[in-house]
Structure 1
Amino acid sequence: MRINNILFLFLGCAFSYAQTEKNVDHQSLLWTRYYNLLTINNKWSIHSEFDNRVFLNSFENNLYEFRVQGRYKINKDIEIGAGYAYFSVATQDPEITFDFRIPENRGQQDVMWKQDIGRITLLQRFQVEERFFHNANKEGLVSGTTFFWRFRYRIQGEYSFWKKEDQYLKTIVHDELMINAGKNVVKNTFDQNRIYAALQYGVNKNLALELGYLNSFQQRASGVDYFDRDIIRFTFYHKINLHKKK
């Protein structure tokens, strides 16, 4: 019953935002990310990432973030994780800049499961986030924080074009829907939808490079203002294995 209620919430929010009159601001951004995967043993791993995001149509910093999480493999198909993320937001509009940054502290928990269908790997992830924003006005930070929940569901497909020993080339596509919840959410229960397509090249068993395009369509707190963002994303993956197979 709870799963059905969550699905109805996602579908209802998607339908309601599609029917709403919109004021859309189009933006172009570049996201660059370093992603580290530290394998402890065949069950446990630690994932960390550093991400910097900048606007391109008027070159300004959007934000940078740090994220760390512990992950546990229940079996070969199901994995769970929990962690913490810190965001430092400079601005959400390159035409409006400030001399201060707004911090966000975020907890997260997720479950991810995969299914192999021939050369295609299907991954689904459901994630819950607890988001704490430091209060601010146009002059600077003020006392207190604002809290709300966010629920995320992502479905992703991966297809391997080529593989030779420790090198490979694969394509990745996914669609992710995000929903806000909590007493501080008034007009933007729908947060955003992200569609992503990328190519990932495995340089060797420890290094991989990924280049992709992401479209983010996000509703603002007003309920009628939206960001439509065209994003180029580059990721450098770095694997460190502490577990030596016998």
Structure 2
Amino acid sequence: MLQITKKMATLATYCSILTPLTGTAQSGKLHDYNSIGWYQLNLTTNLGPKWGLHVDYNQRYEPLQKELFQRLIRTGVNFKPFSAWHFRTGYTWVENIPYGNFPSNSEGLKSNEHRLYQMIAYKHLAGNIEFRHRVMTEQRWLERTPTAGSKNSSYLYANRVRYQLKTQLPIKRKADQQRYPFVQLQNELMVAYGKNVPDNHFDQNRVSLLAGYHFSKQLQLEAGIIHIRQLLQRKINDQSVLLHNTGLQINLYAQLNPTKKATAK
């Protein structure tokens, strides 16, 4: 147990390097603290040795499971030319529902978002710790809700780039063992950019500490704590708004039809 604690402390120190220093100019910001529930179902299916399909469904609540504030559906096509490399491209739909003291739009109305995205992921081992790196670019169409005197909504185009580092440490796993518990630390940084973004700046940072279990190569469940710092894309009384969302995260991953290895004849 002491060795595990030391390893996780090392990982936490390593990942903290990625965390943006948003506290350097706190005096010019408004702060909103919320308790959240962050739930995700991930499904993949193979179309062959290298190609496959992906869909994940997300529901996010404030607090925990009382009021739904975001629903997200992401679809994609997977390509895995090698076991360590993973490419994906697809479409995402997001429904945003006002929550907290400072909603995402001044009218306090629901809004939709449409995205196209491209993803590259790479994994490798350092001892018995697995590192997963993910880079994602997103083209976003953000709904601008009708203002006073206007009946129709419009869409604003923006870009975002994301980098995620995920580290997973198995607990008492033997060689080739498919069922085992693990602990996981992940950190994701997002930066918005483009002509419709007032300043090319920090968008949000997500940090999670999770415990999970591999039931098989096709089924994995994980749960733990997530903390999100998010800068709203609008100002209130000329002040930026920084959200601090902390709560429970639960993720379920399932592979529907794993590729079968060829048997010797």
> TM tier, shorter chain?
0.7 to 0.9
What amino acid is the match of 2:167?
A: G
Query: Could you tell me how far apart the structure 1 residues matched to 2:217 and 2:161 are?
Result: 33
Q: Which residue of 2 aligns with 1:150?
A: 160
Give every structure 1 segment of 4 or more consecutive aligned residues whose post-TM-superposition deviation is greater than 3 Å. 94-100, 137-141, 162-166
**TM-score normalised by the chain length of structure 1:** 0.85
1:59–1:94 contact (8 Å) kept in structure 2: no
Rounded Cα–Cα distance in structure 2 between residues aligned with 1:141 and 1:195: 39
Verify: 1:245 aligned to 2:250, yes or no: no
Aligned to 1:74: 81
Identical pairs, percent: 22
Q: CA deviation at 1:74?
A: 2.5
- The aligned runs of 1:210-221 (5 Å cut-off) are 210-221=222-233
Specify the structure having the higher radius of gyration (Cα). Answer: 2
Which one is further off, 214-223 or 161-170? Answer: 161-170
By how many angstroms is 1:154 displaced? Answer: 1.2
Which letter maps to 1:173? L
Aligned pairs for 1:14-163 within 5 A = 14=20, 17-21=22-26, 22-56=29-63, 59-93=66-100, 101-137=110-146, 142-163=152-173
After TM superposition, give the deviation of residue 141 of structure 1 in Å: 7.2
- Per-residue CA deviations over 1:37-61 (Å, capped at 9, x if unaligned) read 2122221222211111110189321
Q: Distance in 2 between matches of 1:93 and 1:225?
A: 11
Q: 1:31, CA displacement in angstroms?
A: 1.4
Q: What is residue 177 of structure 1 aligned with on the other side?
A: 189
**Aligned CA distance change for structure 1 residues 14 and 166 (closer, same or farther; 3 Å):** closer
Q: Distance in 2 between matches of 1:117 and 1:240?
A: 29
Tell me whether 1:197 sits opposite 2:209 in the alignment.
yes
- By percentage of residues, which structure has more strand? 1
Distance, in Å, in 2 between the alignment partners of 1:106 and 1:83 is: 8
Q: Give how far 1:99 is off.
A: 8.9
TM-score (norm 2): 0.79
Show CA shifts across 1:115-134 (max 9, x none).
11121111111110011112
Alignment-mate amino acid for residue 199 of structure 1: A
Indicate conservation of the 8 Å contact 1:58/1:95, yes or no. Answer: no
Once the two structures are superposed, residues 192-232 of structure 1 have per-residue CA deviations (whole angstroms, 9 ceiling, x without a partner) of 11111111212234332110211111111226210001031
User: Structure 1 residues 54, 243: CA separation in 2 closer, same or farther (over 3 Å shift)?
Assistant: same
Counterpart amino acid of 2:250?
F
Query: Which stretches in structure 1 are left out of the alignment for 5+ residues?
Result: 1-10
CA-to-aligned-CA distance 1:156-178 (integer Å, 9 cap, x gap): 11111144743121111111110
Kept in 2, the 8 Å contact 1:153–1:177? The answer is: yes
